[in-house]
Amino acid sequence: MPVSAPRLEIANVIAGYTPGHPILRGVNLKAEPGHITVILGPNGAGKSTLLKVIFGFLTPEHGAVRLAGSDLSNLPPHQHIEHGIALLPQGRSVFPELSVLENIELGGWSMRSDRKRLREAVEAMFARYPHLRPLQHRVAGSLSGGQQRAVEIARMLVANPSVLLIDEPSAGLSPIVAHQVYQELVALKDEGRTVLLVDQDVRAAIAIADYVYVLNSGKNDIEGDRAAFEGDLGAMVRGWLGV
């Protein structure tokens, strides 16, 4: 499913949960279409906070979040879907008492006025992830961690977003399932989507990255393409993160 994705740009963003006490202190980055842009950094660096700012959960005190040049800084979260931005949050985020089918359908909430299109989009997800079809009437909370992750990814993709914000996708998953998740992120990138990945699994994230930013204490620290991080710089970052 080729996607025409825009560039996501974060320009000098200052933001936090309490006014006057910013977590992000002037962050700049660009995420290009058809690329996986990885954000690394120690705990408390502001990685997840940055995703919350991009998706509208937090309004920056200063700076801008731009998509293809349009400023999204003041949009509420539900309007980001309409701009083609989707967020896969950290940890389990299925609706545990709803069925797999109901979970995936809700991913197309923004298409609810066109039921035919929504049905086709849901069907496309079952075609993309055929192992979910036999589970469609199962309650999502009863599935394994890997199956729940697949439901979350399918739900995220129903509206065919062009920009994907991914927060710790392998957290709590077995190594085999985590590997499958990273391969899926590569497939999504190859479809032309803009992928912004926040991760603590430095090795796995760098392995699929096109470009890497490291945040420290809410500021840009170092950055470079994958090749730069696979060499000495990679070892330095891993040592710095203690992994």
For another protein, the closer of residues 79 and 144 by Cβ is 79
Minimum separation from the CB atom of position 71 to another protein (A): 20
The answer to whether the Cα torsion of 192, 85, 207, 128 is positive or negative is: negative
Minimum separation from the CB atom of position 112 to another protein (A): 5
Minimum separation from the CB atom of position 239 to another protein (A): 34
Own/partner contacts of 126-129, CB < 8 Å, gap of 24 or more, are 126/154, 128/154, 128/157, 129/153, 129/154
Q: Is there binding between residue 97 and another protein (CB under 8 A)?
A: yes
Minimum separation from the CB atom of position 102 to another protein (A): 5
Give, as one character, the DSSP assignment of residue 44. T
Output the six-digit token pair for 188: 């999504």
Which range binds another protein by CB under 8 A, 16-24, 32-40, 84-92, 214-222? 84-92
Q: Is there binding between residue 48 and another protein (CB under 8 A)?
A: no
Q: Is there binding between residue 102 and another protein (CB under 8 A)?
A: yes
DSSP element (H, E) containing 86:
strand 85-88
> In the set 23, 87, 185, 206, which binds another protein (CB under 8 A)?
87
| Of the candidates 57, 104, 59, 113, the residue with the CA atom closest to the CA atom of residue 85 | 57
Beta bridge partners of 31: 8
For another protein, the closer of residues 87 and 163 by Cβ is 87
Minimum separation from the CB atom of position 64 to another protein (A): 21
Q: Using CA atoms, how far apart are residues 9 and 23, in angstroms rounded to an integer?
A: 19
Binding mask 162-201 for another protein (x = CB under 8 A): ----------------------------------------
> In the set 55, 126, 213, 229, which binds another protein (CB under 8 A)?
55
> In the set 11, 68, 98, 177, which binds another protein (CB under 8 A)?
98
Name 111's Cβ contacts closer than 8 Å, sequence gap at least 6. 117, 118, 121, 158, 159
CB burial of 54-75 (b: ≥16 within 10 Å; e: otherwise) equals bbbebebeebebbbeeeebbeb
Contact residues for another protein (CB under 8 A)?
A: 55, 57, 76-78, 80-82, 86-89, 93-98, 102-103, 105-107, 109-110, 112, 155-156, 159
